[in-house]
Chain A
């Protein structure tokens, strides 16, 4: 009920589909030789990390963060700079950069404490825009439009890289699920429902809001760092508004405030995105168009659709027992 549980025990309460996906995906390289598919699933996993980290803040506080690229791209760039300019190994560069992202998360979280709704959304967007603009000013360091190339990968072998990424994704999933079901998650949901009532229950709401922001920032940063090093390149697209919006859409289409929804949504849509490469020219147009359609049809997310909620079996399948 409260705080973390031993692993064997909490697995029993997890979403069957998510577990299936995690286990199944990790076995994928054993059954397939196709490097392209492995890359696709690896990218999908990284987007899943983005979506889940975004969810722990916005899904649980309902303050919409439109500037997630700040943490994703920011960590990517920092890690890339540490790697290329200072020869720091990605195993150190990524965590350190993600920690920096977390610190920024604390700062921005603190500054935006009093902001609600559109103000919060806009400020986060502007912060990301600032970083984006900065990358075009200090081009000696950031490489401007071109970005930074030649980042080291985690290992020499594609398959090992995949397992590292998949493991991080799985870890992120379980960590966030535990967090969401812990007192932190319950308090966030209470703050989401009525912050004054939470305060009158003796809860320091500012602390928990900042904590969620920092967690979201750090995990998103880890995703960003991993992405940079697996592409061996970091460019301004990782700081762009487009990235922020895509993460928002993936999570919302999946289903806010569930962690499972974003995982499934991100994986499915990323795979779709890759599949659309057959019509590369139209890919982005179709991709964004499909996402708009999905949000329009299922504004609360696919996992929150009525027909799933009304069916005991489907609810169990997606959410696991009890939720």
Chain B
């Protein structure tokens, strides 16, 4: 069933048309990738979806419900969570406190299995993501990669139905990317619908089933990874047009 329906989504910043009639549909249990050059508007889509930016026209339906105009925390409590492209962490807190914050949300409390020790739940979550050793540390002491993992853990703690990951591989080593990819795969197999924005194309293509390509605020094409890499418009978006008489060729 359609979990996320984005219809004719348009967003302007003053005179700049950031998003133009974007249409994307995500079905339950899908693993979708969104790619496109820098400045194409990918993160803007996420910001509009999650209530951080108002929509100019079009509609966004989550599980059939119109979420246009809803506040960010309300959307999270409906089951749509996101991570951040630029590191956003609860500096000044301890890791365990930082993980308690999402557990205080309405949704997490509602979905809490009574009888389970809350700190155990947090520990399990951190273990699933590979951060269990850091449970006693301060957030300030984590490195870039660990902060990104913590952000994912933060989003997962709200027990979402759809998870939006914004460049989860950014700043990670190849080994770490492989680990995170596996985590994402596992989460998807357990039933989580996931949408990923990424620039690390090789790693992304190995992970997702469907790819959506965005450029200049418009959806250019959608298809399987194999189809996408051969699409001339996609190649052009990243590498530019081939011009005769210029350069060596």
Binding site for B on A (CB under 8 A): 1-2, 183, 186-187, 189-190, 192-194, 196-205
Contacts and interface: CB of A to CB of B under 8 A. Distances in A.
B52 A187 contact: no
Closest 4 CB pairs of A and B: A202-B105, A202-B76, A201-B102, A197-B88
B73 A193 contact: no
Interface string B152-193: 001101100000000000000000000000000000000000
Contacts of B82: 200
B72 to A, nearest CB: 4
B89 interface: yes
Contacts of B238: none
Name A's interface SS: helix
A220 B240 CA distance: 64
Contacts of A183: 100, 104
A190 B73 contact: no
Contacts of B39: none
A205 B84 CA distance: 18
A186 B90 CA distance: 10
B84, B92, B104, B155 pick with most chain A CB within 10 angstroms = B104
Contact of B89 (A1, A193, A199): A193
Contacts of A201: 73, 76, 101-102, 104-105, 154-155, 157-158
Contacts of A196: 52, 72, 84, 88
Contacts of B88: 194, 196-197, 200
B78 to A, nearest CB: 10
A203 B89 contact: no
B90 A203 contact: no
B93 interface: yes
B52 A198 contact: no
Interface in B102-116: 102, 104-108
Contacts of A187: 101, 104
